[in-house]
Structure 1
Amino acid sequence: MTAWIVLYIAASYLVGAVPFGYLAGRCRGLDLRKEGSCNIGATNAWRVLGWRWGAPVFALDFLKGFIPVFGALHWLPFLTGDSAGWDFNTAVVLVCFAVVLGHTYTCFLGFKGGKGVATTAGVLFALNPAVACTALATWLVLVGISGIVSLASILAAVAMIVAGWWMYPLAEGGSISSQVLYIAFFTLIGLLVIFKHRSNMARLFNGTEHSFYSKKSK
């Protein structure tokens, strides 16, 4: 792996680490880490700051996932010498991990960040729109039915894992395929998203999780 690829992966982490939700809150004189669900992600920004701030935060969190991965898919083949082998796929997957981990464990806020939903969505749409649409459809249906974003996000992560295992081959020509790297990414990031929602799961079990349909949320 060349020095340029390592630098690209490091830069992807730093791009993912930009805490747009936190910065939006500061522009309004608030610290989102102490407001609402105490999270810097787009959902809490939307809830605390309103849609005029929440929508741009979501878009920026999405783009910081999409752009580095899209760039990796189109630029890294020139550095690895191919667009399908182990070297290329390893580099792309590391970029995907870097940008999501940058958001969820940002170095700019003491390695405490968001829950990774919007940024993971950006990564997925750059990497595999079919997997992304499967997760998005799951999210939209569940938000529409329940109004609970955390529940929708958790089950969308599960849908992403299932779709990844379904669409990517574990083996080709009798040997392990490099596509297994993407299966590993979908699985580990899906589990990370679920893990980051553990406080939400506790509220779901207690029946105290926020819903956009509740009077309090309105």
Structure 2
Amino acid sequence: MIAWIVFYYLIGAIPFGYLAGRIRGIDLRQQGSRNIGATNAWRVLGWKWGLSVFILDFLKGFIPVFGALNWLPFLTGDAGGWDFNVLVVLSCFAVILGHTYTCFLGFRGGKGVATTAGVLFALNPVVACVALASWLVVMGISGIVSLASLVAAVVMIAAGWWIYPLCQDGDVSPQILYVAFFTVVGALVILKHRSNIARLLNGTEHSFYSKKSK
């Protein structure tokens, strides 16, 4: 199990944003918001590079988790039991933690939005679509990526609590693991956006609709 989790962490730890910047001769950690995520790559490197970073960060969340959902039943022998669900949730955590705290850059990584989105679409497309819809609405109204991401994180937590049962037939259900997962990951996304929250409160956060945040 440990080797499996480490492997998943290392997949998530691949810093595609940093590598894209280096290809262009730029260190994203020293430019813009100094983040290696897709949003900063978009602003500093241009939309083509930013979109490419987003897709790669999304896929490094989606593909490993999709694989875990299909491979782990053969390893655990029970697709609905505690062993299976514990490994799935730990795999999801490992990929996201790899992105947000990559060992390749001194444990400083992205804010986790694109990779978390990839994990969500592999794990539960319903929760993913609800969170995406909230992101699109807020982004369409405000033009502020960080605000849309924060709202989507909160919506993801709420959707997880709504969809997954905590108990089943009078016993604690393994599905409670997913409720915990959505809650902790949502909190992590919010934590990683604390500098953005400060700028939102000060009215200085960047909006794609204007040079100065609304």
TM-score range, shorter chain: over 0.9
- Do residues 92 (structure 1) and 91 (structure 2) align? no
Match of 2:65 in 1: 69
Residues 45-76 of structure 1, C-alpha deviations (whole Å, 9 max, x = no match):
01110111001100000000001100000000
Given that 2:11 and 2:60 are in contact with CA atoms closer than 8 Å, whether structure 1 keeps it comes out as yes
Structure-2 residue corresponding to 1:55: 51
CA distance in 1, matches of 2:162, 2:120: 15
1:210, distance to aligned residue in structure 2 (A): 0.3
Amino-acid identity (%): 77
Give 3-state SS (helix, strand or coil) of 1:40's partner: coil
1:39 to 9, 13, 35: 35
| Equivalent position amino acid for 1:167 in 2 | I
Distance 2:4 2:137 in 1: 36
Give me the whole-angstrom Cα distance separating, in 1, the residues matched to 2:2 and 2:76.
Answer: 12
2:77 to 58, 76, 81: 81
Which one of the candidate residues 12, 16, 19 is aligned to 1:16? 12
CA distance in 2, matches of 1:214, 1:27: 29
Q: Which residue of 2 aligns with 1:194?
A: 190
- Structure 2 Cα separation of the partners of residues 216 and 154 of structure 1: 20
Partner amino acid, structure 1, of 2:211: K
| Equivalent in the alignment of 1:166 | 162
Q: Are the aligned partners of 2:9 and 2:98 in contact in 1 as well (CA < 8 Å)? A: yes
Query: Once the 2 structures are TM-superposed, how far is the Cα of residue 10 of structure 1 from its aligned partner?
Result: 1.2
Contact 2:205 2:212 in 1 (8 A): no
**Displacement of 1:216 after TM fit?**
5.8
**Do the aligned partners of 2:18 and 2:27 also contact (CA within 8 Å) in 1?**
yes
The 1-side partners of 2:89 and 2:81 are apart by 12
Q: In angstroms, what is the RMSD of aligned CA positions?
A: 0.9
User: What pairs up with 1:93-132 in 2 under 5 angstroms?
Assistant: 93-132=89-128
CA drift of 1:101 comes to 0.1
Q: Give distance in 2, aligned partners of 1:75 and 1:215.
A: 47
1:210 aligns with 2:206: yes
2:204 alignment partner, SS class: coil
The answer to whether the Cα contact below 8 Å between 2:204 and 2:212 also exists between their aligned partners in 1 is no
The answer to whether the aligner puts 1:7 opposite 2:16 as a matched pair is no
TM-score, normalising length: structure 1: 0.96
Partners of 1:89 and 1:57 in 2: how far apart? 30
Distance 1:85 1:141 in 2: 37
Query: What is the letter of the counterpart of residue 125 of structure 2?
Result: P
Aligned residue pair count: 213
2-structure distance, mates of 1:8, 1:46:
33
- Which whole-Å deviations, capped at 9, do the CAs of 1:93-137 have from their partners, x for residues lacking one? 000000000000000000000000000000000000000001100
Structure 1 stretches (4+) deviating beyond 4 angstroms?
none
Point out where structure 2 has 5 or more consecutive residues left out of the alignment: none
**Given the superposition, is the C-alpha separation of residues 188 and 65 from structure 1 closer, same or farther in structure 2, using an over 3 Å criterion?**
same
